Amino acid sequence: MELLYGTPIVLASYLFILFLAGLAVLVFGKRRQNYATWIIGILLVGLLAMVALGWSSLVEEGLHEKRWLTGWILPRDEPGAITVGVLQDPLGLTMVALATILSGIVLLNRGLLAKEPSPERYKAAFAISTVGVSISWIAMTPWLSFVGIGLAILGGFVSLGSRWDTDGEANVAMRFGWEKSWGLFLAVLGACILAGSRPPLDWANAESWAALPGSSDEIGAGLLAAGLFIQLQSFPLTGWIITSSGSPPVLRVVLNQVFPALAVFGVLIRLEPQLRSVGILPVFGWVALGSALFTIGSGFLQTQGRQGLSLWISAGFSVVFSTLAFSGQWVATAVLIGLVLGAAAFSIAVSAFDVKGPKGASNGTKSDWIKVACFAAVAAATGVLGFVSAGGILRWLAVWDSSALEFAAGFVFFLFVLHGWKLAWNAFRVKSISDASWFTISAPFVLIVLALGLVWTGTASGEAVFEAPDRLFASLFDILFGSSSARDRAGDGEALSSALWLLLGIQAVAFATAYWTSGRKLDLFQQAARTFPRFSAFLTSGYGVDRFGLWVLGIMRATGSFIDWAVGEQFAGRLGGTLAVRLIRNTAAAFTAADDKFSERLNATVLRVVQVPGKVFQLIQNGDVQWYLLFGIGSGMAMLLHFMRG
């Protein structure tokens, strides 16, 4: 029994069952909605139980990770081998639990999703996406992670399917599909390039990642990181995000943004030491910051709240990528947890606004609590002191050597925080009366409590204060990243202190600026959008990337048509086909003519040759010649006799 629940295989097998259940719900769930909910719900609870059992088995064995690795494509030890491996460790189990809790909380809020035309699709999507995220975090090799990311994408695509019988939603689904696929393909390509020159890629075998001289490691690692970054749907691939959708914000945010991003970070965070050894991370850190800047810029002027929210979340994931690049695994994990939980809480809260109360009702208590939830969610996501993300953001801000770099990073972070508070103040101004259940209204608070620093770091401030004088119990990060990480997390006192003041200043200024621009009667951002409509349209449409893309596509199409016309029709058809036929015909005609002439001449010559003897024989045959011959021969003989006598 101990072996049964202790091995990584059991967890992987359970995930496979959950995946099959998701497929079954998708196929058969339309007429059995209640059964569908129960099946997925029970299996999610079961997954939590599996996580708990797995955790207890790890604790029993001194928290040593368990591994299972096998060759999948090519034998394990051959260069280029594609292997699959499952890693059961505290970090993976924790993230699996997080994804499961998130799925469960959203699924339990059936009131939010009551208007969805095909509820079985989003139920199946939650099952499939949870499996995808879980696989990504327990995978020991990139290849299995790609399967996990693929499943998370599939879950997002399926969730969009509840509305894709309309053209608008179909376009959203299409864009989501191909943009995600591009990222996945580039990541696979990068991994293939890395795999081509070394023994199997896996997290445990750190030596295998040492950069090989003269190899294409930088290109491979760069493509891998680029492909994974594209999955975060930050600038320039914000296409499907800014396309309008009728789905509740919680579905779009959780299934189409949070879960795919969680799956991606399952690879990135595991791979961080190896990517750093190859040397590509700082570059991508700056790329991520730049992308976040552009994404936020686009989000500020969006007229629809859900688009603004989605862009803010995408920008947040870019910031997390940047923290990973500059500050390492645990910082990124802390910021990621805060952002994921904060974003999910915010989306549940704004979705609750759509559950309208009866006309004339004056009780706005529920709406007020929703607004409080919105503010708390933004606080969790942006690293306000007391949340787990605060410690991570502080370490990230403290890492910069030069003030110019610190200013650049701080400015982008300021804009990110400003955008968050802007969204919160926009929600604050909503006047509708919500009739969501108290269960729905408390759900965001559950997530916000989970995002508290106390839960993860054992300190009230989220390890924001140097040497943690507010520590109440040991940090969970000691278990997730090893006790040696405590030294890394401690950081430099002076740098942390100045970063703390910077963080507090950013939060305060952003909060006040957001109130002044968006919290009062007039929204200055919308006013600016109306004053500069063309510039605003340029920003909100994603900086014209779509137009450029369509222009490139048009060129490709024209090139393809031209090649088809030139080679298929002209070269092979007219030139090759017609010319060849004409050549053959003309040659045949020439030969035929020559043959005819030759035959004619031959006939004439033969005729002439046989004509004389023929005429002679003819004369002989028709009788007259006989007598002439007789007389001639007779005359000749007479003359001969005469001369012989004489």
Partner 1 sequence: MNNHLISSMVLLPLVGALFQAFLPGIKGVRSDMVARWMALSASLGASICGFVLVISMQRGTADLQAIEILEWVGSYAISYDMGVDGLNALIVLLVSIIFPVLIASEWNQKVGARGMYGLFLILQTAFFGVACAQDLFLLFFFWALSALPFYFLIGIWGGPGREGAAFRSIVAASIGNALLFAALILVYYSVDPHSFSLRELANAKLTGKSFEILGHEFSLSVVAFALIGTGLAFRAAIWPLHSWFTHAAREAPPSVFVALSAVTVPVAIYIFMRLSYTLFPESLLAAGGIIVAVGAINLFVGGVSSVAQRDLRLLLAFLCVGEVGFVLLGVGSLNSAGVVGAVYEQLVLGLGLAGFGLFSGLLNDRAGHSVFMREDGGPRPLGGIATRAPTMAVISGIFVASLLGFPGLGGFVGHSLLLIGGYPGHPLAVILAVCAVLLATYYLFVMYRLIFLGDSSVEMGVFGDLTLREQAYLLPLVSGLLFCGMYPKPLLELVRPTVLTLLSTVK
Positions that interact with partner 1 (CB under 8 A):
71-74, 78, 80, 82, 143, 146-147, 150, 161, 164-167, 169-171, 173-174, 177-178, 181-182, 184-186, 188-189, 192-193, 195-197, 216, 219, 553, 556-561, 563-564, 567-569, 571-573, 576-577
Residue 242, Cβ density class (10 Å: 0-12 exposed, 13-18 middle, ≥19 buried): buried
The nearer residue to partner 1, 255 or 309, going by C-beta atoms, is 255
Cα–Cα distance for residue pair 94/96, rounded to 1 Å: 5
Q: How far is the CB of 194 from partner 1 (least distance, A)?
A: 9
Q: Shortest gap between Cβ of 155 and partner 1 (angstroms)?
A: 14
C-beta of 193: minimal distance to partner 1 in Å? 5
Query: Nearest CA to 290 among 240, 236, 224, 247?
Result: 236
Residue 213 to residue 519: CA distance in whole angstroms: 56
Q: Rounded to an integer, what distance in angstroms lies between the CA atom of residue 337 and that of residue 285? A: 19
Choose between 587 and 611: whose C-beta lies nearer to partner 1: 587
Least distance (Å) from partner 1 to the CB of residue 17?
16
In the complex, least distance from residue 160 CB atom to partner 1, rounded to whole angstroms: 9
Q: Which is nearer to partner 1, 46 or 177 (CB)?
A: 177
Q: Which is nearer to partner 1, 553 or 594 (CB)?
A: 553
**Furthest C-alpha separation in the chain:** 171
Q: Which two tokens stand for residue 622?
A: 């028709």
SS3 308: helix
Q: Tokens 């700082």 — which residue?
A: 282
DSSP character string of 537-588: HHHHTTTTHHHHHHHHHHHHHHHHHHHIIIIIIIIIIIIIIIIHHHHHHHHH
The nearer residue to partner 1, 219 or 545, going by C-beta atoms, is: 219
| H or E element that contains 143 | helix 142-160
Q: Specify the residue, 78 or 494, whose C-beta has the smaller distance to partner 1.
A: 78
Least Å distance between CB 618 and partner 1? 52
Considering beta carbons, is residue 505 or 576 the nearer one to partner 1?
A: 576
* Cis ω for the linkage preceding 260 (within 30 of 0): no
How would you class 282 by CB atoms within 10 Å of its CB: exposed for 0-12, middle for 13-18, buried for 19 or more?
exposed
Residue 195 tokens, joined: 């795999």
Q: How far is the CB of 182 from partner 1 (least distance, A)?
A: 6
Tokens of 413: 């972070």
Residue showing tokens 């000749």: 636
* CA–CA distance, 387 with 214 (Å, rounded to integer): 45
Q: What is the C-alpha to C-alpha distance for residues 59 and 5, in angstroms, rounded to an integer?
A: 13
Angle among Cα 531, 533, 534 to the nearest 5 degrees reads 135
Residue 66 bridge partners (DSSP): 88
Task: Give least dist CB 210 to partner 1, A.
Answer: 18
Return the closest-CA partner of residue 180 out of 255, 107, 130.
255
Nearest approach, Cβ of residue 49 and partner 1 (Å): 27
Shortest gap between Cβ of 174 and partner 1 (angstroms)? 4
Choose among 92, 108, 138: nearest CA to 44.
Answer: 108
As a whole number of angstroms, the distance between CA 297 and CA 311 comes to: 9
Give SS3 for 1.
coil
Q: How far is the CB of 241 from partner 1 (least distance, A)?
A: 17
Question: Are the C-beta atoms of 413 and 506 separated by less than 8 Å?
Answer: yes
SS3 per residue for 594-618 = HHHHHHHHHHHHHHHHHHHHHHHHH
* Number of C-beta neighbours around residue 633 at 10 A: 10
Q: How far is the CB of 172 from partner 1 (least distance, A)?
A: 10
Query: Minimum distance between the CB of residue 165 and partner 1, rounded to whole angstroms?
Result: 5
Tell me how far apart the alpha carbons of residues 389 and 387 are, in angstroms, rounded to a whole number.
Answer: 5
Question: What is the SS3 assignment for 396-459?
Answer: HHCCCCCHHHHHHHHHHHHHHHHHHHHHHHHHHCCCCCECCCHHHHHHHHHHHHHCEHHHHHCE
Give the tokens for residue 585. 């015909």
Residue 31 or 487 having the CB closest to partner 1:
31
Instruction: Look up residue 232 and give its DSSP letter.
Output: T
Asked if 160 and 247 touch (Cβ cutoff 8 Å), the reply is yes
Q: Which of 155, 223, 144 is nearest to 183 (CA)?
A: 223
Residue number with CB closer to partner 1 (438 or 548): 548
Looking at the Cβ atoms of 244 and 599, the one nearer to partner 1 is 244
- Nearer CB in complex with partner 1: 98/135: 135
Q: Which of 96, 82, 89 is nearest to 49 (CA)?
A: 96
Of 173 and 340, nearer to partner 1 (C-beta) is 173
User: Toward partner 1, which CB reaches closer, 4 or 556?
Assistant: 556
* Minimum CB distance to partner 1, residue 278 (Å): 16
Looking at beta carbons only, is 509 or 553 nearer to partner 1? 553
Residue with Cβ nearer partner 1 (174 or 524): 174
Q: Residue for token digits 């990337």?
A: 545
State the minimum distance, in angstroms, from the CB of residue 244 to partner 1. Answer: 15
- As measured in angstroms, the least distance from the Cβ of 432 to partner 1 is 31
Question: For residues 206 and 556, which CB has a smaller minimum distance to partner 1 in the complex?
Answer: 556
